[in-house]
Structure 1
Amino acid sequence: MNHEKTMAVVIKIEEAAITAVAIYFLTKYHLGLSVWLWVLLFFAPDLSMLGYLVNSRIGAFTYNLFHHRAVAIGLLATGFLMHMDILISIGLLLAAHSSFDRMLGYGLKFTDNFKHTSSGWIGKGQ
C-alpha cells in the first residue's frame, strides 16, 4: 500500500472514531427522543444541499455551514457553558454527521462544483 492510500485509510479511521464518540455522547444528550427520530435527524444536515437549487456558491455555503466542525464545536461549547442540552445535542449531531460524511470521502464543498470537495473530487479515485 502506498503512502497516500495509507493516509486515506488513517483519515477514514479517525473520522469513524469521531463519529462513534459523537454518537456515544448523543446517547447521553438524547433529549428524550426515540432512536428512530435520531436516525432521521442524523441525515438532516444534508438538507443544506438544497442551496444548490439557487446556485453552486449558495449551495457550497449552506452545505459547508451545516458540515463544518467549527460550527459543531461552537454549538457544543455554547451548550455546555449555558447548560442547554438542545445545543449540546445539535453540536454532537453536526459533529457526528460531518465526520461520517468525511469518512465516506465527502468533504466541505468548493464553489465551482458540488463534486469538488476538500477531500478531493467525489467519485474520482475513491
Structure 2
Amino acid sequence: MTPVTWQRLEGAALALVALAAAAMLEGWWWPLALFLVFDLSALGYVAGTRIGAIAYNAGHSLVGPSLMAGWALASWGFGAPGGRVAALVAAAWAFHVGVDRALGYGLKHADSFQHTHLGWIGRSRAGE
C-alpha cells in the first residue's frame, strides 16, 4: 500500500474512534450535527490562497482536537463544568478531520485549494 492509502485508512480509523468516543459520552449525534462547522475555516480563502491555507489547516489539523481533548480531560479532573461538552466537541472535530482524510482531503498547500498533503483533489492534474 502507498503512504497516501495508509493515511486515508488512518483517517477512517480516527473517524470511527471519534464517533465511538462521542457515543460513549452519550452524544453520538454531535459529530454529525457539527460536521460542517469545521469547514468554516475555509472562509480564509476569501483573503487569498496563503491565508486560506493557513486558516483551513488550523481547522483541519489534529492539533485543535488534541488540545480540546486535553482541556476536556483537565476540566473533568478538576471538576470544572464543561468537560463533557469539550470532549464532545473534540470528538466531533476529530471525526471531521478523520472523514476528510479518509476521503482524500488533506492539509492544503498555499498554491491551490486542490493541492493537499495527500495529493491533488478534484479534476485530474495529469499533463498540467
Interval containing the TM-score (normalised by the shorter chain):
0.7 to 0.9
Number of equivalenced pairs: 118
The answer on 1:57 being equivalent to 2:50 is yes
User: Which residue matches 1:28?
Assistant: 24
User: Which residue matches 1:19?
Assistant: 15
TM-score (norm 2): 0.80
Equivalence map 1:77-116=2 (5 Å): 77-83=70-76, 84-116=83-115
Q: Secondary structure at the match of 1:48?
A: helix
1:55-91 per-position Cα deviation (integer Å, ceiling 9, x unaligned): 1112111111111112111110111111211221111
TM-score (norm 1): 0.81
Aligned-pair Cα RMSD in Å: 2.1
Output the amino acid matched with 2:7. Answer: I
User: Which residue matches 1:120?
Assistant: 119
Q: Secondary structure at the match of 1:115?
A: strand
Gaps (5+ residues) in structure 2? 77-82
Distance 1:112 1:12 in 2: 22
8 Å CA contact 2:31, 2:96 repeated in 1: no
User: Which residue matches 1:46?
Assistant: 39
Identity score, percent: 32
1:85-108 per-position Cα deviation (integer Å, ceiling 9, x unaligned): 122111111111111101000101
Greater RCO (Cα-Cα under 8 Å, separation 6 or more): 2
